[in-house]
Amino acid sequence: MTNALYTAQAHVVGGRADGHGRTADGRLEVNLRQPKELGGDGEGTNPEQLFAIGYAACFAASLALVGQRRQLRGDDAAIDSKVMLIPAGNGGFKLGVELEISLPSITDPDQAADLVRVAHQVCPYSNATRGNIEVTLVVNGTQL
């Protein structure tokens, strides 16, 4: 990892139920709480929310990059992301992700689908999750 282009640093105390997290640069600081659906008070942020924002932002950047390489407009993408916490059956949990991508400047369905497929190969979050969690991609209303 000596060739890292960037390293994010964060510090968390207390975990997801009653914790607090902050980045080393102080730009992000959150109270961590269980969502109401899991018996918490819902008065803070949970790891799944942070993952949903991170994945969507990373995927949007990948769409812009791949679009630029192909002379397509991918930089106006809007992404609604869902990160689901799913019982794994062994007392543990796993994640599931759905990214619903809107590409308003690309009206050709095949072109939009191809751009999303290639961005999925480029995106660091997609590469980190590939083979580990189910990721569903929906582009301009059509599931890939």
DSSP-derived 3-state class of residue 89:
coil
Assigned CATH topology for domain 1-45: N-terminal domain of TfIIb (2.20.25)
Residue 56 φ/ψ, nearest 5 degrees: -60, -40
134 touches 96 (CB < 8 A): yes
* Structure confidence by residue, pLDDT tens digits, 70-104: 999 999 999 999 999 999 988 999 999 999 999 99
pLDDT number for residue 2:
81
pLDDT number for residue 89:
86
Residues 6+ apart with CB under 8 A from 128: none
* Structure confidence by residue, pLDDT tens digits, 58-72: 999 999 999 999 999
pTM for the whole structure: 0.93
Class of domain 47-143: alpha beta
Residues of each domain in the chain carrying CATH 3.30.300.20: 47-143
